[in-house]
């Protein structure tokens, strides 16, 4: 499935992009200054071991640095995992709908990706378990799920993992986990010692606002991490990305409190507005909302694009009447809702 840029043919500086689940908040001045300092060393290769960054991540999740692998975005690490464990004739399993890259990466490795229909827009773990056979190498679980924003608990995940073959790798993609509300819900990182076939993937692109720098990480059993690491290029993560990731983790209190609460407030604003406009939506645990525009979906998306407001039509996920709308800052969100109010008003008059 080919990805299309939401900025194509549009002046990026004038766009309200609510299509790619990026952060709408620029980095603080002190974090930017740390990047300026790193620019003085762009004539040198980046660090290979990423030890300082790995230790900060390890401290955040109460694991060891040997359980961490740093990559050029979690996408690179999921790619390496597929290449490591999937061969010609093997299969992987993912929910439908879910993040389309899992299918692409399975096919890149020579395997076949089985799509298992979700239940109530969430993962149907029983149906996934029933689809596993001797050729299944990886099960992909995006949690919260993309594009629906739905979430499954650790209790559900543990019950699933206990019931499947131990040689099936369970990829838990937690790209959006930092947005989960309330905070007491725990990451599946807690399972990596008890269930060595679990690998958890995280990114700095969404919650921490480093999308342009391409940096993410995997957390898993030491032996599994080492096996995937053998496929990694030695200088895979640039120096600017490493420096920025270190700084945002050192200042994580801002993200974990101020930014986190801002997203929750704006998510509630979406819900209230959609209810008023009679637009169906799925309650989300991410920084986006999956909403139903109905038969006029394509037309409404075009009308929004004419106003330089870009959202993600979900035809590519197999849901032509739905859209995925990122949660921007308050100004961007207000602009979107005002535009939708006008669109819905005109539609009601027709």
- Find out if CATH 3.30.590.10 is the number for domain 29-250: no
CATH number of 16-26+252-349, picked from 3.40.250.10, 3.40.640.10, 1.10.150.120, 3.90.1150.10: 3.90.1150.10
Q: Please say whether the beta carbons of 231 and 250 come within 8 A.
A: no
The pTM (predicted TM-score) of the whole model is 0.94
Whether the bond into 97 is cis, omega within 30 of 0: yes
Q: Where exactly are the structural domains of the chain?
A: 16-26+252-349, 29-250
Scan for tokens 């979700």, then name that residue. 118
Alpha-carbon Rg for the chain in angstroms: 20
Q: Please say whether the beta carbons of 181 and 284 come within 8 A.
A: no
Domains 16-26+252-349 and 29-250 share a fold: no
Tens-level pLDDT at each residue, the chain (350 residues): 344 455 555 566 689 999 999 999 889 998 998 899 999 999 999 999 899 999 999 999 999 999 999 999 999 999 999 999 999 999 999 999 999 999 999 999 999 999 999 999 999 999 999 999 999 999 999 999 999 999 999 999 999 999 999 999 999 999 999 999 987 788 999 999 999 999 999 999 999 999 999 999 999 999 999 999 999 999 999 999 999 999 999 999 999 999 999 999 999 999 999 999 999 999 999 999 999 999 999 999 999 999 999 999 999 999 999 999 999 999 999 999 999 999 999 998 87
The burial class, CB within 10 Å (0-12 / 13-18 / 19+), for 49 is: exposed
CA 122, 312, 267, 252 torsion: positive or negative?
A: positive
């Amino acid at each position: 499935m080919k990805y299309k840029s939401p900025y194509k043919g549009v002046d990026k500086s004038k766009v309200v992009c609510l299509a790619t689940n990026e952060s709408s908040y620029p980095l603080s001045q002190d974090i930017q200054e740390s990047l300026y300092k790193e620019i003085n060393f762009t004539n040198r290769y980046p660090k290979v071991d990423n030890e300082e960054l790995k230790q900060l991540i390890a401290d955040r999740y109460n694991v060891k640095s040997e359980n961490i692998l740093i990559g050029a975005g979690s996408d690179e690490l999921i790619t390496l995992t597929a290449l490591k464990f999937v061969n010609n004739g093997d299969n992987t399993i993912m929910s439908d709908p879910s993040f389309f890259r899992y299918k692409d990466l399975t096919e890149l490795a020579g395997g076949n990706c089985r799509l298992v229909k979700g239940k109530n827009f969430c993962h149907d773990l029983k149906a996934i378990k029933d689809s596993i056979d001797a050729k299944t190498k990886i099960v992909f679980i995006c949690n919260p799920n993309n594009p629906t924003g739905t979430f499954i608990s650790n209790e559900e995940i543990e019950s699933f993992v206990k019931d499947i073959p131990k040689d099936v790798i369970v990829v838990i993609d937690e790209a959006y986990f930092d947005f989960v509300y309330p905070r007491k819900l725990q990451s599946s990182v807690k399972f990596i010692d008890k269930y060595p076939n679990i690998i958890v993937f995280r990114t700095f692109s969404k919650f921490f606002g480093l999308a342009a720098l391409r940096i993410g990480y995997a957390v898993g059993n030491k032996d599994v991490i080492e096996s995937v690491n053998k496929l990694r290029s030695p200088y895979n993560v640039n120096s600017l990305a490493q420096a920025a990731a270190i700084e945002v983790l050192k200042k994580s209190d801002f993200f974990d409190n101020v930014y986190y609460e801002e997203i929750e407030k704006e998510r509630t604003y979406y819900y209230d507005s959609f209810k008023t406009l009679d637009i169906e939506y799925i309650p989300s645990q991410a920084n986006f909302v999956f909403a139903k525009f109905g038969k006029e979906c394509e037309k409404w998306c075009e009308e929004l694009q004419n106003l330089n407001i870009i959202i993600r039509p979900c035809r590519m996920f197999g849901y032509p009447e739905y859209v995925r709308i990122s949660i921007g800052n308050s100004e961007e969100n207000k602009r979107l809702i005002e535009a939708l109010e006008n669109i819905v008003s005109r539609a009601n008059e027709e």
